[in-house]
């Protein structure tokens, strides 16, 4: 693969990540600690501020924002003190602030809330979860889960909303709106057809386009329409190809639906560097596939970071 082609791929890739770092940093007030710069000036548009910040970043600084690193949370993207970009802490999960947190609420499982068919209740549920997540210092909540309960053996069916695509569509939007009302980025996961845990890194979920559009895609489309900040691509293969390098990431999610947030991989998912970058994956969480290639576009995260100020 030629160097210009690599640069073109990663210009697109890093644009999406920078857009959402704008949302987080401005929302947390990091820019108030810096000398006046174009990207700290709320009189400029988010797009102008993101472009200015991107222009000020070195190649190494850009590359640091497309791959997971070590840190206090289950997932971490390092901050940049020189430019005032905060670190991002990613934390589970769909039913509340999880991982190793203490002093948190044991909320009902999402499928229980969905069974009420009460959209307002789901929005309130998401609001409380987002509030608690922010109180624990996280910026990105790794939820909600919105996979279909198509296999009763799946041990994680309780995380989502059941087997009805319409119910999942309605609940996904309300859940996302509630979480993000608290200044926390919600993550729609796991895209797509991730309906069993057994051999999840290897299994191929084979479904034609109509089936995906009518059953599996609706909650993710609802999340995009609700303004979800992040999407997580799943471990499994879809029709024989890793979901993290599926053509649907670009063709369906970004182009057809108009999604302008960022798409991350699930943790240690299997995918190829070029295939994933070409097809719309923006952030590599612990596969290290993006660490060896040039990252030259981070604009969308920076735009959203600026939009919040």
CB 69 within 8 A of CB 77: yes
The DSSP symbol for 254 reads I
Of 167, 166, 129, 168, whose CA–CA distance to 145 is shortest? 168
Of 290, 303, 308, whose CA–CA distance to 19 is shortest? 303
Q: Which of 51, 92, 195, 266 is catalytic?
A: 266
Let me know if 99 is a catalytic residue. Answer: no
| Sign of the CA dihedral with 104 first, then 73, 201, and 164 last | positive
CB 189 within 8 A of CB 146: yes
Please give the full DSSP string across 184-230, using - where no structure is assigned: -EEEEEEETT----TTTTT-EE---HHHIIIIISHHHHHHHHTT-SE
Which residues are tagged catalytic? 266
């Amino acid at each position: 693969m030629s160097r210009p082609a690599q640069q073109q791929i990663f210009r697109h890739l890093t644009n999406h990540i920078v857009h959402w770092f704008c949302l987080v940093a401005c929302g947390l007030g990091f820019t108030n600690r810096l000398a006046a710069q174009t990207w700290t000036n709320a009189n400029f548009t988010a797009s102008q501020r993101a472009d200015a910040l991107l222009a000020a970043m070195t190649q190494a600084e850009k590359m640091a924002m497309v791959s997971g690193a070590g840190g206090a949370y289950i997932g971490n993207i390092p901050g940049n003190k020189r430019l005032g970009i905060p670190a991002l802490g990613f934390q589970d999960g769909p039913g509340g602030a999880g991982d190793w947190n203490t002093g948190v609420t044991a909320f009902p499982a999402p499928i229980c809330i969905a069974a009420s068919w009460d959209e307002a209740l789901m929005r309130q549920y998401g609001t409380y979860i987002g509030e608690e997540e922010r109180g624990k210092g996280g910026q990105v909540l790794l939820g909600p889960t919105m996979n279909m309960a198509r296999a009763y053996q799946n041990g994680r069916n309780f995380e989502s909303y059941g087997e009805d695509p319409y119910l999942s569509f309605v609940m996904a939007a309300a859940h996302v709106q509630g979480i993000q009302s608290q200044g926390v980025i919600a993550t729609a996961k796991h895209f797509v057809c991730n309906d069993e845990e057994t051999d999840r890194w290897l299994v191929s979920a084979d479904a034609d386009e109509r089936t995906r559009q009518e059953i599996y895609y609706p909650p993710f489309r609802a999340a995009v329409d609700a303004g979800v900040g992040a999407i997580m691509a799943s471990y499994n293969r879809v029709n024989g190809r890793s979901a993290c390098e599926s053509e649907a990431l670009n063709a369906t999610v970004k182009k057809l639906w108009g999604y302008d947030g960022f798409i991350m991989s699930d943790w240690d998912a299997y995918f190829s560097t070029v295939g994933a970058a070409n097809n719309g994956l923006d952030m590599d969480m612990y596969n290290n596939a993006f660490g060896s290639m040039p990252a030259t576009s981070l604009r969308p995260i920076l735009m959203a970071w600026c939009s919040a100020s």
